[in-house]
């Protein structure tokens, strides 16, 4: 049975209570706390700041009469897991990761949006919720809504499998790490995932998918490419700006599609 808490109880890590989110069921989850305000105000220019606590900065939006929470998670699956646990406890049901990633296929371009239908579990957090045989898959309905949203917004996008790593450098086979050395199991790993039709690297989707599936919640991931790994291991700052514009369009359209399919908006 899901954990129950009083409506006014502020949870320890996220710094939010049921009362504070005003019945919101959707939460957008950027990793970077400094992306929260911009993402929230792209949905609702009058978005209301709720709290800053640890890596969890939160804003509440009004979107076509529905409340939508935006809450950062920080980097990596451990903090995603903590956030999902507490956000679910206060009533959130639809969890959408919004962020950045590195593209590894030649046909993906800078600022393209990747909509993840599943993720490779290159992290340890999800194994605390389900055995490694358990798949990291996104919600079909939620993912399909964002695909329709990307089409409606005319944003270049791809739907496929993401690899979620516990580390930014070795797990993603970046050779510009401090020591310059990679464990043998990571040497050549990018080529392997590319051959297996994985689209991109990032650090949160698999943990989010496994935890939400295990809890009976719905999750999706919308990430834009800011490094084209075939060409460079560096983040492209111009692509980062264009990526933000693209994911904002996709998120707004995708949210509307999903709410419309649920009969919440006309």
Asked whether the CA dihedral 22, 25, 28, 33 is positive or negative, the reply is: positive
The alpha-carbon radius of gyration of the chain (Å, integer) is 18
- Of 204, 201, 239, 230, nearest to 81 by C-alpha is 204
The β-bridge partners of 136 are: 119
Provide, rounded to the nearest whole percent, the portion of the chain with pLDDT above 90: 94
Query: Do 99-261 and 6-92 fall under one CATH topology?
Result: yes
Based on the residue annotation, tell me whether 133 is a catalytic residue of this protein: no
- 78: phi then psi, degrees, rounded to nearest 5: -55, -45
Based on the residue annotation, tell me whether 55 is a catalytic residue of this protein: no
The CATH number corresponding to 6-92 among 3.40.50.300, 3.40.1410.10, 3.40.190.10, 3.40.50.1580 equals 3.40.50.1580
**The one catalytic residue among 13, 54, 64, 242:** 13
Cβ contact 229:110 at 8 Å: no
Both tokens of residue 139? 């919600």
Cβ contact 115:159 at 8 Å: yes
**The one catalytic residue among 35, 121, 157, 229:** 229
Q: What is the structure's pLDDT at 14?
A: 98
User: Where do the DSSP E strands lie in the chain?
Assistant: 26-30, 48-53, 56-63, 66-71, 94-103, 113-122, 136-137, 157-165, 198-202, 218-228
Q: What is the structure's pLDDT at 238?
A: 87
Based on the residue annotation, tell me whether 141 is a catalytic residue of this protein: no
**The one catalytic residue among 97, 121, 158, 174:** 174
Judged against a pLDDT cut of 90, whether residue 233 lies above it is answered with: no
The CATH superfamily label for domain 99-261 reads Nucleoside phosphorylase domain (3.40.50.1580)
- Average pLDDT (129-142) is 98
Q: Residue 230: pLDDT band by 50, 70, 90 thresholds?
A: confident
pLDDT (tens digit, 9 = 90+) per residue, 169-227?
Answer: 999 999 999 999 999 999 999 999 999 999 999 999 999 999 999 999 999 999 999 99
- Average pLDDT (90-108) is 97
Judged against a pLDDT cut of 90, whether residue 237 lies above it is answered with: no
Q: What is the structure's pLDDT at 227?
A: 94
Residue ranges per domain, the chain? Answer: 6-92, 99-261
Q: What is the structure's pLDDT at 132?
A: 97
Q: What is the structure's pLDDT at 265?
A: 96
**The one catalytic residue among 86, 173, 202, 204:** 86
- Average pLDDT (44-67) is 98
- Average pLDDT (248-262) is 98
List the end-to-end C-alpha distance of the chain, in Å, as a whole number. Answer: 34
- Average pLDDT (156-177) is 96
Q: How far apart are CA 187 and CA 185, in angstroms?
A: 6
Q: What is the structure's pLDDT at 207?
A: 98
- Average pLDDT (117-140) is 98
| Residue 237 or residue 264, greater confidence | 264
pTM, full prediction: 0.97
Other Cβ atoms closer than 10 A to 191? 11
Based on the residue annotation, tell me whether 175 is a catalytic residue of this protein: no
Q: How far apart are CA 132 and CA 126, in angstroms?
A: 8
pLDDT (tens digit, 9 = 90+) per residue, 12-32?
Answer: 999 999 999 999 999 999 999
Q: What is the structure's pLDDT at 249?
A: 98
């Amino acid at each position: 049975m899901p954990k129950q808490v009083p409506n006014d109880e502020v949870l320890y890590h996220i710094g939010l209570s049921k009362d504070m989110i005003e019945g919101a069921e959707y939460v957008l989850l950027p990793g970077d706390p400094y992306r929260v305000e911009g993402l929230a105000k792209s949905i609702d220019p009058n978005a209301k700041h709720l709290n800053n606590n640890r890596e969890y900065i939160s804003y509440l939006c009004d979107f076509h009469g529905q409340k939508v929470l935006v809450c950062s998670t920080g980097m990596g699956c451990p903090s995603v897991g903590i956030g999902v646990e507490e956000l679910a406890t206060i009533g959130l049901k639809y969890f959408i990761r919004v962020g950045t990633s590195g593209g590894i296929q030649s046909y993906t371009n800078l600022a393209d949006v990747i909509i993840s239908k599943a993720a490779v579990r290159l992290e340890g957090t999800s194994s605390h919720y389900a055995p490694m045989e358990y798949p990291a898959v996104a919600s079909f309905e939620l993912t399909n809504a964002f695909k329709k949203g990307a089409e409606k917004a005319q944003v270049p996008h791809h739907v496929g499998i993401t690899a979620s790593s516990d580390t930014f450098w070795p797990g993603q086979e970046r050779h510009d790490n401090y020591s310059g050395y990679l464990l043998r199991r990571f040497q050549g790993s990018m080529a392997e995932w590319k051959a297996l039709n994985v689209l991109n690297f990032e650090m949160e989707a698999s943990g989010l998918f496994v935890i939400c599936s295990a809890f009976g919640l719905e999750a999706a991931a919308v990430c834009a490419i800011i490094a084209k790994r075939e060409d460079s291991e560096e983040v492209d700052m111009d692509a980062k700006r264009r990526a933000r514009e693209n994911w904002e369009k996709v998120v707004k359209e995708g949210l509307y599609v999903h709410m419309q399919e649920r009969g919440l908006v006309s």
